[in-house]
């Protein structure tokens, strides 16, 4: 976290004053006065007013690396990190050997505040190339590397969790489709196993091929069968004599 980073305040007060005084011969008289006033305001914590004085000094001495550096520090303390980065980059471009290493270091801090970790890492590397004994730059570089590794691990974990969730969703979708298909198959099977009269409603079944209905006065085959059985069971009823016909006289012998 930024609390464990070595902050820009390492250079914002003492270094700013030293650089302005050391660079006085190279700064125009007007720019020098604004730089001193800006330093005074900076020490009092009036960062907005300080960066305005540095800006006025840059109008008189636009190529002053010291004024650009101090201007960037005031913007940084005002949490205007984007403009601070621009000021530090301009200070680096002056190639002033008295402050370029510190400008790279402070640029790294501003980039870190913007969560631009890879550019911040490169800025600290540049500061160490120019000042290999800079322990603060080394510390911040290690912290950025550690945070980048943690972010990569978190991204990998998030991706793994997302992949697992996607797989679970796909499995659930396939299972739901399979359940629906099984239900449909079961319904089809139940419908096929129902009796025909249930499948076709309450319609009467078609009349099968059998004996035709007897005409009036005619016995059915069943009635004839029963009569035959009764005759076979009582033979006397078959051989009994006929009763004489009524109303007919017996024939006379010739």
Q: Work out the burial of residue 86: count CB atoms within 10 Å of its CB; fewer than 13 is exposed, 13-18 middle, 19 or more buried.
A: middle
Give the list of residues 6+ apart from residue 225 with CB closer than 8 angstroms, or none. none
Q: Judge whether 34 lies within some domain.
A: yes
Nearest to 49 by CA among 34, 62, 63: 34
Is residue 39 within 8 Å of residue 71, measured between CB atoms?
A: no
Stretch 215-229: mean pLDDT = 70
Q: Judge whether 203 lies within some domain.
A: no
Among 9-18, 170-179, 189-198, 223-232, name the one with the lowest average pLDDT: 9-18
* 10, containing H or E segment: helix 9-12
Q: Judge whether 84 lies within some domain.
A: yes
Q: Judge whether 156 lies within some domain.
A: no
Give the model's confidence band at 201: pLDDT under 50 very low, under 70 low, under 90 confident, else very high.
Answer: low
Give the list of residues 6+ apart from residue 99 with CB closer than 8 angstroms, or none. 15, 19, 65, 66, 69, 91
Q: Judge whether 108 lies within some domain.
A: yes
How many structural domains are present in the chain?
A: 1
Q: Judge whether 119 lies within some domain.
A: yes
- Position 243 scores a pLDDT of 43
Q: Judge whether 30 lies within some domain.
A: yes
Q: Judge whether 251 lies within some domain.
A: no
d(CA 84, CA 16): 15
Stretch 58-79: mean pLDDT = 94
Q: Work out the burial of residue 91: count CB atoms within 10 Å of its CB; fewer than 13 is exposed, 13-18 middle, 19 or more buried.
A: buried
Any idea what the CATH number is for the domain that residue 120 is in? 1.25.40.10
User: Which tops the pLDDT comparison, 156 or 93?
Assistant: 93
Stretch 56-78: mean pLDDT = 94
Model confidence, pTM:
0.59
Its domain, for residue 58, covers: 2-147
Question: How crowded is residue 123: how many other Cβ atoms within 10 Å of its Cβ?
Answer: 29
């Amino acid at each position: 976290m930024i609390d464990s980073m070595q902050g820009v305040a390492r250079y914002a007060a003492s270094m700013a004053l030293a650089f302005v005084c050391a660079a006085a011969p190279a700064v125009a008289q007007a720019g020098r006065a604004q730089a001193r006033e800006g330093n005074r305001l900076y020490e009092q914590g009036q960062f907005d007013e300080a960066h305005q004085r540095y800006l006025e000094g840059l109008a008189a001495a636009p190529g002053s690396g010291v004024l650009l550096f101090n201007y960037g520090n005031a913007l940084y303390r005002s949490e205007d990190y984007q403009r601070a980065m621009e000021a530090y980059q301009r200070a680096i471009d002056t190639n002033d050997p008295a402050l370029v290493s510190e400008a790279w270091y402070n640029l790294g801090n501003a980039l870190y505040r913007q969560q631009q970790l890879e550019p911040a890492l490169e800025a600290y590397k540049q500061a160490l190339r120019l000042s290999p004994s800079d322990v603060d730059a080394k510390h911040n570089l290690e912290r950025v590397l550690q945070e980048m590794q943690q972010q990569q691990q978190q991204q990998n974990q998030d991706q793994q969790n997302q992949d697992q969730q996607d797989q679970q969703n796909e499995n659930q979708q396939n299972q739901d489709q399979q359940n629906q298909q099984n239900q449909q198959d079961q319904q089809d099977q139940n419908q096929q196993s129902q009796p025909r009269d249930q499948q076709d409603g309450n319609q009467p079944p078609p009349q099968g091929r059998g004996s035709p209905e007897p005409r009036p006065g005619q016995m059915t085959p069943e009635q004839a069968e029963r009569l035959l059985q009764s005759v076979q069971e009582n033979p006397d009823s078959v051989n009994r004599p006929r009763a004489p016909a009524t109303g007919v006289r017996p024939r006379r012998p010739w």
